[in-house]
Structure 1
């Protein structure tokens, strides 16, 4: 198994004990949008208002993340770059504390994993302003995508997927891939993943490989432009 952060690490870290060519991508396990949230008590009701507030009060708005280099961090950096706003990044040690920080109002906004914030949005503790990804989320049909709101390059999602060492025999790779895709298409698995706010995987290997490479290129460009080195 592996996560979308692996596509980020190739650029964010100067030294890694592995490289992309060491692995063969099999299929994605689950993908999940990031949802732009603010505390329910926040006066900010839309992305437009968030950007306007950030421009009016540079350096005042802070966003929480699950840690430096996580997608929850890089989405905030992407907003900083795309909207030209001066906002402060506050990294936490993991998704749960980052989410609780925004619920408590310690930070003013966050691009949280949908799986982490969905319950809080439905319970009325967080207000969802937008979602990342190419399409709206079935669990939040009234929440627009960042793309709909005129923001480019926010059609990205977080993901977890399956990889094996590059030296694995092709017959083994095919059998593993076929078995994994079959499991991921099981109705019970599909339903459970959707309940969690995720989308079940099962992409053909070629399509999954293309998605991983695209993430590697696009996140890499952002990391270089923002000079975000992690080591």
Structure 2
């Protein structure tokens, strides 16, 4: 796992490891190798023996890192084999409960009008919650101002305090805020609505073509034999069909996936291109 223990990716990995241990009949242990936005773990797995015993749960951050970093320490497309996506994680456009925009339509109207400056927070330059705003500006000809923070929780706190007007936060991180009514969700950034927020529209319902999806998925070293990749893929699909596992993902605000290695590979390529365009548009860099 490329991130610290206790985070959303780590929690999903531990849930997954518990179920895979049963399905594979072999102990699956989580090892956290945090740092460099996931690049340390990615480099480690890319150099591991391609025998199916070292796999990684990484996120869509890796596809953005291709453009953000001059040197990731490995090449995700050449040095890793995508096995299967596990889940999609919507970002949710949120405003303070006292903000005048009560609907997505009204928010778009305010952004287009440009009479009111809208500052939106993110967990840092190049993060999905930054680039979600970049794409929103592009599609509305808006001029929302990006305010980077050292973490999403800091941005959410300032949103509650009224220092900024909006965030595009990962749903899994803000369910508590939404449930206590302190923040108002206006839209989700995925192509389809979230089961946790079924009455909240997608941005694409008003801005066709808008789509920002976070995801996590399992990767193996590049030279892993096809039969081993297929065995892992089958095991992951079995876990994803388990009602208790699916329900836990949905409770977290995630959308279970479970696709083929080839499908995941195509998504990776498309995401690297999409994030690259938005990152260059934003002028973001991690080096």
| Structure 1 length-normalised TM | 0.91
SS at structure 2 position matched to 1:69: coil
2:230 corresponds to 1:162: no
- After superposition, residues 173-192 of structure 1 pair within 5 angstroms as 173-192=229-248
C-alpha distance in structure 2 between counterparts of 1:158 and 1:119, whole Å: 19
Among 180, 191, 206, the residue aligned to 1:134: 191
Contact 2:125 2:285 in 1 (8 A): no
Contact 1:59 1:86 in 2 (8 A): no
Judged with a 3 Å threshold, the aligned counterparts in structure 2 of structure 1 residues 25 and 58 are, in CA distance, closer, same or farther, namely farther
C-alpha distance in structure 2 between counterparts of 1:120 and 1:13, whole Å: 33
2:281 corresponds to 1:221: no
After TM superposition, the structure 1 stretch with the greater mean CA deviation from structure 2, 153-162 or 22-31, is: 153-162
Report how far residue 57 of structure 1 moved: 4.3
Structure with bigger gyration radius: 2
Q: Which whole-Å deviations, capped at 9, do the CAs of 1:29-59 have from their partners, x for residues lacking one? A: 2211111110111111123332333344468
Among 237, 261, 264, the residue aligned to 1:208: 264
User: What is the CA RMSD across the aligned residues, in angstroms?
Assistant: 1.8
2:139 corresponds to 1:88: no
5+ residue gaps in structure 1? none
C-alpha distance in structure 2 between counterparts of 1:208 and 1:225, whole Å: 26
After TM superposition, the structure 1 stretch with the greater mean CA deviation from structure 2, 198-207 or 90-99, is: 90-99
Among 24, 31, 34, the residue aligned to 2:91: 34
5+ residue gaps in structure 2? 1-56
Report how far residue 110 of structure 1 moved: 0.8
| Structure 2 length-normalised TM | 0.74
Paired residues in the alignment total 230
- After superposition, residues 1-12 of structure 1 pair within 5 angstroms as 1-12=57-68
Report how far residue 225 of structure 1 moved: 2.9
Judged with a 3 Å threshold, the aligned counterparts in structure 2 of structure 1 residues 15 and 58 are, in CA distance, closer, same or farther, namely farther
Contact 1:82 1:152 in 2 (8 A): no
Report how far residue 83 of structure 1 moved: 1.2
Contact 1:40 1:125 in 2 (8 A): yes
C-alpha distance in structure 2 between counterparts of 1:5 and 1:58, whole Å: 34
Match of 1:111 in 2: 168
2:135 corresponds to 1:54: no
Match of 2:22 in 1: none
C-alpha distance in structure 1 between counterparts of 2:116 and 2:73, whole Å: 37
C-alpha distance in structure 2 between counterparts of 1:78 and 1:109, whole Å: 14
Contact 1:21 1:166 in 2 (8 A): yes
C-alpha distance in structure 1 between counterparts of 2:180 and 2:117, whole Å: 27
C-alpha distance in structure 1 between counterparts of 2:96 and 2:110, whole Å: 15
Contact 1:99 1:116 in 2 (8 A): no
